[in-house]
Amino acid sequence: MRRLAPLLLALLTLKAAAQEKLVESIEVRVVNVDVVVTDGRGRPITGLTKDDFEILENGKPQKITNLYEVTPLKEGETPDVALARKRDGAPPLPPVEMRARRLVLFVDNSSLPVFKRLEVLRALDKYVEREMRSSDETTIVTWNPGLRIVLPFTSDRDELRAAIRKMSERVNSGASDMVAQQTDHKHDCLEYLASAKLGNLTYGMAWNMCKNAIDGYAEEMGRNARTVLDAMRLTSTTLAGVEGKKVMVIAGAHLPERPGLELTMWAYKTFEDYLRGVNPMAAMHDTQHNSTVYSIEKFARQANADGVTVYVIDAADSRDLTSADQTTMPELDLQFTSFANTAQAYQTIASLTGGLLVSSNNFDTAFNAVAKDLDHYYSLGYKPSDDAKSGKGRSIVVKAKNGAYRIRSRRSYMPKSSEEQISDSVVANLYHSSMRSEWPIELAAGKPERDGDRFRIPMVITIPPTLTLLPQEGRLTGGFDVYVAVGNDTGAMSKVAKTAQPVKVPASAEQNFRSKAMTFDLPLLVRPGTNTISIAVVDEISNTTGFARATIMAR
């Protein structure tokens, strides 16, 4: 084997070798937009063609270059028979890789009461039993707080259902903490008010003490909301580098657009009869808004960039905000404020990504909606005119020329460079076993050795000698890029690191070069525990890509 000069990956940071690109690659990309079309009663509309749609990018009409329609196969019908139906005028089936279906269930345990979580899991179990195909991949992740992968992507129904049963046996929930905090702050505020009535405090002092406590609570809720949204964004990236229909189902009960709004309104309403200028409507201007809304929209844009449709199960229950000591004033309007506060955030996420918000207590409805959308949708393709010139996000609007039809699709698109797409694929390779490898590279790991609070793992990449080389001044010149990412079993993931390795071979030595595989040494520093290492090796001239991964226990 031909061993190349080793490079050290310290704390997952690669030092890239400077190398002039020998060939500039120009890619013609097609943007695919999945579109659900229904009538006024929510029934799928089938049999449409390119002429039935319009696509606008940043307000400008785009030419639709291709259309695929996905519909359920008839009983006993094979894909080959279904494909033959196009002779009768029906659009062709999408390519096999685009028909793959992947689903993520993201369970926000920090806001879901136990009994609601159990209902969501029962609904998921029914979906797996009735709707999941043998080729589908499904994963379950939780936030509690902290991201945890309960089960990696799998097509094994039995394994999924066993994981669901195991989750159902855990009765811990963080949701009660939030309710308890609200109850404690209200109790304290009422005590401050009672003390003011007795003359021990001024009403202004009582108000300031109450308001300071509630502001602190609102800031904490804002931080929690943004942290949950960051976890959702990270979860979305696990789907970015794979083809097919990608769906994320979020189950939660509290993700406020304005953190602390309902408690702030309660405080204003409680004190409005005792202080001038204390008006409950001022609470709208006195709670965090912009930063949380930005995080909500940032997650939606990330999901759109990754091609992920988001469905949200809003499991909020008005009883969550009711307690025995809250009888001094009607709570109905505050309960509605809390519900609407979260519902607006969830609705924004669902609508921007082409999904649905389901707030029914019958959670089967949510998974039935997912199943129906997976069975009936169109994939429309168009080529952006300035794809290679701008990495800025663009708005997308899909319209049906028949005004009676209802359309759902993602609302934005983010062009990605070749390097960004490879990075996405490296991340996807951490979590999916179905990544296609054009180049049969291999990854081997040595014995982990402790290095302070980390472990050093010697990795060796074996690369076939089929690297593309071009003649240049009496030599054959080429190179390859190595991309690396590391993830662990808690859901933590490193950034993707890249290094470039130039290769120069005398023209007379080509036969000898082609006779032996190349090896590339890659020492890693990783955290203790189970770590998965994902790599991609890309031929810089032909763009041929190989993927490999290894799972290591560092202890």
Q: Over the stretch 310-359, which tens digit does the pLDDT of each residue have? A: 999 988 764 444 333 344 444 545 555 666 778 888 999 999 999 999 87
Q: Over the stretch 6-29, which tens digit does the pLDDT of each residue have? A: 333 333 333 333 334 444 444 447
Cis peptide before 145 (omega within 30 of 0): yes
Q: What is the CATH number of domain 2-26+425-554?
A: 2.60.40.10
437 pLDDT exceeds 70?
A: yes
**Nearest to 228, CA basis, from 291, 294, 146:** 146
pLDDT of residue 393: 85
Structure tokens at 184: 């404690």
Q: H-helix or E-strand containing 84?
A: helix 79-84
Please list the residues that pair with 413 across neighbouring strands: 394
pTM: 0.83
| Cβ-based neighbours of 171, under 8 Å, separated by 6 or more | 114
The order of strands in the sheet holding 245-252 is: 147-154, 137-143, 101-108, 245-252, 308-314, 357-358
**Nearest to 275, CA basis, from 341, 189, 355:** 189
pLDDT of residue 555: 82
**Of 41-50, 111-120, 184-193, 438-447, which range is least confident?**
111-120
Mean pLDDT of the chain: 82
In this prediction, residue 462 has a pLDDT band, given cuts at 50, 70 and 90, of: very high
Say yes or no: do domains 2-26+425-554 and 101-374 share a fold. no
Range 131-160 average pLDDT: 89
**Nearest to 124, CA basis, from 374, 370, 375, 490:** 370
In this prediction, residue 129 has a pLDDT band, given cuts at 50, 70 and 90, of: very high
394 pLDDT exceeds 70?
A: yes
DSSP string, 116-158: HHHHHHHHHHHHHHHT--TT-EEEEEEESSSEEEEEEEE--HH
3-class DSSP state for residue 51?
helix
Q: Where are the beta strands (DSSP E) in 401-453?
A: 406-409, 412-413, 442-445, 449-451
Please list the residues that pair with 538 across neighbouring strands: 481, 545
What span, in angstroms and rounded, lies between the C-alpha atoms of 226 and 222? Answer: 6
233: phi > 0 → left, psi -120 to 50 → alpha, else beta; which?
Answer: alpha
pLDDT of residue 305: 92
Q: Over the stretch 404-427, which tens digit does the pLDDT of each residue have? A: 999 999 999 888 888 888 999 999
Please state the CATH superfamily assignment of the domain spanning residues 101-374 in this structure: von Willebrand factor, type A domain (3.40.50.410)
Domain boundaries, the chain: 2-26+425-554, 34-64+381-413, 101-374
What span, in angstroms and rounded, lies between the C-alpha atoms of 26 and 551? Answer: 35
